[in-house]
């Protein structure tokens, strides 16, 4: 079974639930949602529907990131997987939301400025060795990292290496978690040839999440090929 969906609800909830059995929640990256909203989403979704979540940006992004324009809450010493009070306080609240949604997978997307360094590697080890293994964790690095370093980190911390299959090759993980950001940019519409190439790449158990302006149509087209 190939799990197909979009990054964020790309249609009304009712319409989305009729077509897909998976969505990656984006709202939880920008700011914490209320437990009541999480319970509402879980209750209105079919029982076999799966929510995956993008981890709260307070873990990965520093407050000078433009993404904090959508953050609602007090700004603290956030980002770079720091193992401190401010980060862990928001992480614990995020975990509550993830559990209410009965999520199995949580994705951490680090920003381009979070590149390979001794301090950043140290932060990642301290963070992931501290938190509970309540979920399958995935890491999508966006900065400059050597593939051997990414593989070592993912192997030792039991992380899924998350990639865009048209840009990078996965170096570690028992299954693939693909996030498709558009070939050349967010406004890209995947061609029939693109989707056929993707079909040849995916294997049973893989996750395929479209994250482009045409995500609804592209995800439907890809689902019809499977």
Q: CATH no. for residue 42?
A: 3.20.20.410
| Residue 196, pLDDT score | 98
Sheet holding 207-210, edge to edge: 159-161, 136-140, 105-109, 50-54, 22-25, 3-7, 207-210, 177-180
By residue range, what is the domain housing residue 168? 3-225
Run of H or E including 151? helix 147-157
Nearest to 95 by CA among 87, 13, 172, 123: 87
pLDDT, tens digit, for every residue of 35-60?
999 999 999 999 999 999 999 999 99
Domain count, the chain: 1
pTM for this entry: 0.96
Q: 3-state class of 155 per DSSP?
A: helix
CA distances to 4, 59, 101, 136, 212 from 91, rounded to whole Å, are 27, 7, 15, 15, 27
Q: What is the pLDDT of residue 186?
A: 95
Q: How confident is residue 135, by pLDDT bands cut at 50, 70 and 90?
A: very high
Q: What is the mean pLDDT of the chain?
A: 97
Name residue, tokens 């501290």.
130
**Helix 215-225 vs helix 192-201: crossing angle, to nearest 10:** 60
What pLDDT is stored for residue 115 in this prediction? 98
């Amino acid at each position: 079974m190939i799990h197909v969906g979009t990054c964020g609800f790309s249609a009304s909830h009712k319409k989305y639930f009729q077509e897909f059995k998976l969505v990656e929640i984006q709202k939880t990256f920008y700011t914490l949602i209320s437990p009541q909203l999480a319970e509402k989403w879980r209750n209105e979704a079919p029982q076999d529907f799966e929510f995956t979540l993008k981890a709260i940006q307070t873990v990965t992004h520093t407050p000078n990131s433009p993404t904090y324009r959508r953050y609602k809450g007090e700004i603290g010493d956030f980002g770079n997987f720091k193992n401190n009070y401010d980060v862990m306080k928001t992480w614990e609240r995020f975990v509550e939301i993830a559990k209410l949604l009965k999520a199995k997978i949580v994705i951490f997307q680090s920003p381009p400025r979070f590149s390979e360094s001794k301090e950043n590697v140290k932060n990642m080890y301290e963070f992931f060795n501290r938190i509970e293994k309540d979920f399958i964790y995935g890491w999508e690095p966006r900065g400059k990292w050597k593939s051997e370093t990414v593989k070592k980190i993912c192997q030792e911390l039991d992380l899924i290496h998350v990639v865009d299959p048209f840009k990078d090759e996965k170096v570690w993980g028992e299954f693939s978690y693909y996030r498709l950001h558009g070939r050349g940019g967010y406004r890209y519409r995947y061609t029939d040839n693109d989707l056929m190439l993707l079909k040849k790449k995916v294997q049973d158990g893989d996750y395929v999440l479209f994250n482009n302006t045409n995500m609804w149509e592209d995800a439907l087209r890809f689902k019809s090929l499977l």
